[in-house]
C-alpha cells in the first residue's frame, strides 16, 4: 500500500498526489521546504522547522495558505496516518499554480505537500569511518542574491557543488563564499575542532541556519565545550583536529579528509563521537 500524502488541505493516497505542470514550484523552483526527522515517535524540533519555513516564505514574499499552527497539525496528521515512529518528513510549499510567466502573484494559492517516509542519506560505514570531502569551486550564493538562509526549492547552487563532489569520487563538497570563507557543505553545516574548541561559521558566511547545528551547539555548551561562531578559511579546515557535518538527514557525521588532506588521525575524533552520541540521546528524548 502506498503512503498517505498531505496535498493542499487533506491527506490523499500516494497515487493521487500529483502536482500541476503550471505550478511555479516546478516551473521556477519557486517555493520553500523543510526536512524534518521523527525520532521515537516524536517530531524533532518541529517548532524550529516551522519557524524557519515561515521565515523563508516571508523573505521570498510567499504567503502560505495555512497558518503555522494548522501546518503543525497537518505535519502531525501525516506522520500519524503513515505510522511513522522513526522517519523523515519532507514539507514543501510551492508558489502554486500560475501562468507561464515569472510573476509569482499570478499564482492564486500556495501548494502544500507533506510526505512522511524513511531516509538513509549515507551508508553506515561513513558514520563509523568518517567521510572525505572536497572544496567546491562553485561559490555559495551571495547574500544579495538568493539569501542562503532561505531554504528554497531552488537548490541548483548546492547541486553544482554536489556534482563536483561526485566527480571527485566523494559524497560531499564544502562551499565557500565570495570572500573565501567557509559557508557550508552542499546539504549540511560545517564544524571543526581545534585545541578542544568547537568552531562553526556564522550563518552570515552563507549557510542555512541549521537546526541540527543549533542543537549540537547547545549540547556542546551544556557539556562544557567552548563554541565559537567565526569565519573559517580552507586553512582552518586543513589543520583541524576534528571536522564534522550536521544536518537533519546526515545527523552528525565525521569528515576525515578534504582535498586529499587527512584530518587528525584519519578517524572521526572523540568530540565528534561524543556529540553524535549526545545528539541521539537528545533526539530520542533522553535529555541533553
Three state DSSP letters for the chain: CCCEEEECCEEEEHHHCCCCCCEHHHHHCCEEEEEEEEECCEECCHHHHHHHHHHHHHHCCCCCCCCHHHHHHHHHHHHHHCCCCCEEEEEEEECCECCCCCCHHHCCCCEEEEEEECCCCCCHHHHHHCEEEEECCCCCCCCCCCCCCCCECCCHHHHHHHHHHHHCCCCEEEEECCCCCEEEECCCEEEEEECCEEEECCHHHCCCCCHHHHHHHHHHHHCCCCEEECCCCHHHHHCCCEEEEEECCCEEEEEEEECCEECCCCCCCHHHHHHHHHHHHHHCCCCC
For residue 184, state whether it binds ligand PMP (rule: CB under 6 A): yes
Least distance to ligand PMP, CB of residue 91, Å: 12
- Among 3-11, 74-82, 165-173, 243-251, the segment contacting ligand PMP (CB under 6 A): 243-251
- Among 24-32, 62-70, 103-111, 240-248, the segment contacting ligand PMP (CB under 6 A): 240-248
- Among 10-18, 66-74, 182-190, 264-272, the segment contacting ligand PMP (CB under 6 A): 182-190
Cα–Cα distance between 100 and 287 in angstroms, integer? 50
**# residues near ligand PMP by CB under 6 A:** 16
Cα–Cα distance between 242 and 76 in angstroms, integer? 37
Which of 82, 177, 246, 272 contacts ligand PMP by CB under 6 A?
Answer: 246
Which of 81, 249, 257, 274 contacts ligand PMP by CB under 6 A?
Answer: 249
Which of 56, 110, 177, 189 contacts ligand PMP by CB under 6 A?
Answer: 189
For residue 200, state whether it binds ligand PMP (rule: CB under 6 A): no
Pick out residues in 19-78 that bind ligand PMP (CB under 6 A).
Answer: 35
Least distance to ligand PMP, CB of residue 77, Å: 22
Pick out residues in 69-128 that bind ligand PMP (CB under 6 A).
Answer: none
Which of 95, 213, 276, 278 contacts ligand PMP by CB under 6 A?
Answer: 213
Judged by beta carbon, residue 4 or residue 162, the one nearer ligand PMP is 162
Calculate Rg over the CA atoms of the chain. Answer: 19
For residue 211, state whether it binds ligand PMP (rule: CB under 6 A): yes
Q: Among this protein's residues, is 151 annotated catalytic?
A: yes
For residue 171, state whether it binds ligand PMP (rule: CB under 6 A): no
Q: Determine how many CB atoms are found less than 10 A away from the CB of residue 26.
A: 17
For residue 210, state whether it binds ligand PMP (rule: CB under 6 A): yes
Q: Which of 4, 151, 162, 278 is catalytic?
A: 151
Name 260's Cβ contacts closer than 8 Å, sequence gap at least 6. none
For residue 157, state whether it binds ligand PMP (rule: CB under 6 A): no
For residue 187, state whether it binds ligand PMP (rule: CB under 6 A): yes
Catalytic residues, by residue number, are 151
Binding site for ligand PMP (CB under 6 A): 35, 158, 184, 187-189, 207-208, 210-213, 246-249
Amino acid at each position: 500500500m502506498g503512503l498517505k500524502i498531505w496535498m493542499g488541505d487533506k491527506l490523499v493516497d500516494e497515487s493521487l498526489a500529483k502536482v500541476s505542470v503550471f505550478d511555479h514550484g516546478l516551473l521556477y523552483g519557486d517555493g520553500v521546504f523543510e526536512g524534518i526527522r521523527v525520532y521515537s515517535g516524536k517530531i524533532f524540533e518541529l517548532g524550529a522547522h516551522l519557524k524557519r519555513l515561515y521565515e523563508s516564505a516571508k523573505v521570498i514574499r510567499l504567503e502560505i495558505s495555512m497558518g503555522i499552527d494548522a501546518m503543525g497539525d497537518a505535519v502531525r496528521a501525516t506522520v500519524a496516518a503513515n505510522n511513522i515512529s522513526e522517519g523523515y518528513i519532507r514539507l514543501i510549499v510551492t508558489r502554486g499554480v500560475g501562468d507561464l510567466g515569472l510573476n509569482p502573484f499570478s499564482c492564486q494559492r500556495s501548494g502544500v505537500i507533506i510526505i512522511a517516509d524513511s531516509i538513509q542519506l549515507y551508508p553506515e560505514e561513513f558514520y563509523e569511518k568518517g567521510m572525505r570531502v572536497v572544496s567546491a569551486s562553485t561559490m555559495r550564493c551571495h547574500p544579495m542574491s538568493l539569501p542562503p538562509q532561505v531554504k528554497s526549492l531552488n537548490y541548483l547552487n548546492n547541486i553544482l557543488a554536489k556534482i563536483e563532489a561526485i566527480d571527485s569520487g566523494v559524497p560531499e563538497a564544502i562551499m565557500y563564499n565570495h570572500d573565501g570563507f567557509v559557508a557550508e557543505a552542499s546539504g549540511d553545516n560545517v564544524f571543526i575542532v581545534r585545541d578542544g574548541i568547537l568552531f562553526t561559521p556564522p550563518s552570515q558566511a552563507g549557510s542555512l541556519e541549521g537546526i541540527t547545528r543549533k542543537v549540537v551547539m547547545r549540547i556542546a555548551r551544556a557539556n562544557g565545550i567552548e563554541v565559537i561562531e567565526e569565519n573559517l578559511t580552507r586553512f582552518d579546515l586543513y589543520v583541524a583536529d576534528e571536522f564534522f557535518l550536521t544536518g537533519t538527514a546526515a545527523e552528525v557525521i565525521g569528515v576525515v579528509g578534504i582535498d586529499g588532506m587527512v584530518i587528525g588521525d584519519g578517524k572521526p575524533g572523540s568530540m565528534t563521537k561524543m556529540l553524535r552520541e549526545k545528539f541521539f540521546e537528545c533526539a530520542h528524548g533522553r535529555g541533553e
